[in-house]
């Protein structure tokens, strides 16, 4: 069974929730359009294109997940292990923070990539894509630990 939890203590009501859902839908459509555009076109260098594509995917996933964070399942339908996983991943908004943190760190990496491209243009052309993959792996690792484990501690998931 689903029920909608509206946190009215923070001034969040149904009208505000509907407006947020519309905004997230618009941004999801725009990001999908950007992803389709980048299938055939390159933005800057190959490294920048890869980073912007990954950034777009994380933005799409964050925009899809955010409106559904208001939906909660009754925990009595789970066994204790599934209820704990549900609480840590969904109720604590860990998935949302994973995508948001990844998106933020990817923006920083894109900025750093553009800085190197502008300041060292001749050296930048010799940087292979292989050096980009450890940085992307670090972003996933950082977002996983910071987004899920650090924020999970502050939520009440005592089952």
Q: Are 7 and 71 in contact (CB under 8 A)?
A: no
Arithmetic mean of pLDDT, 61-72: 77
Pick the residue with more confidence: 2 or 25?
25
> Residue 95 has what pLDDT?
77
- CA atoms of 49 and 117, how far apart (whole Å): 13
Residues 67-110: pLDDT tens digits? 777 666 555 556 666 666 666 666 666 777 788 888 888 898 88
> Where are the domains positioned within the chain?
2-152
* H or E, element range at 73: strand 71-73
Confidence of residue 34 (pLDDT cuts 50, 70, 90): very high
pLDDT the model gives residue 9? 46
DSSP secondary structure of 90-129: IIT-HHHHHHHHHHHHHHHHHHHHHHHHHHSHHHHTT--G
Q: According to the model, what pLDDT value does residue 37 have?
A: 92
CA distance linking residue 74 with residue 1, whole number of Å? 6
Average of per-residue pLDDT values in the chain: 76
**Which pLDDT score is estimated for 117?**
84
Percent over 70 (pLDDT), the chain: 67
Give the DSSP letter of residue 3: E
């Amino acid at each position: 069974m689903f029920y909608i939890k509206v946190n009215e203590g923070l001034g969040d009501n149904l009208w505000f929730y509907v407006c947020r859902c519309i905004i997230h839908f618009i941004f999801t459509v725009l990001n999908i359009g950007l992803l389709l555009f980048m299938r055939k076109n390159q933005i800057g260098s190959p490294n920048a294109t890869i980073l912007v594509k990954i950034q777009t995917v994380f933005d799409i996933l964050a925009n899809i997940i955010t409106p559904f964070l208001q939906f909660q399942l009754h925990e009595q339908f789970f066994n204790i292990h599934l209820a704990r996983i549900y609480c840590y991943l969904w109720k604590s908004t860990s998935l949302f923070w994973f995508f948001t943190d990844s998106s933020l760190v990817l923006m920083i990496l894109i900025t750093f990539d553009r800085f190197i491209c502008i300041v060292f243009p001749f050296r930048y052309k010799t940087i292979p894509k292989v050096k980009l993959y450890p940085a992307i792996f670090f972003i996933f690792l950082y977002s996983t630990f910071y987004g899920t484990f650090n924020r999970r501690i502050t939520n009440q998931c005592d089952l």
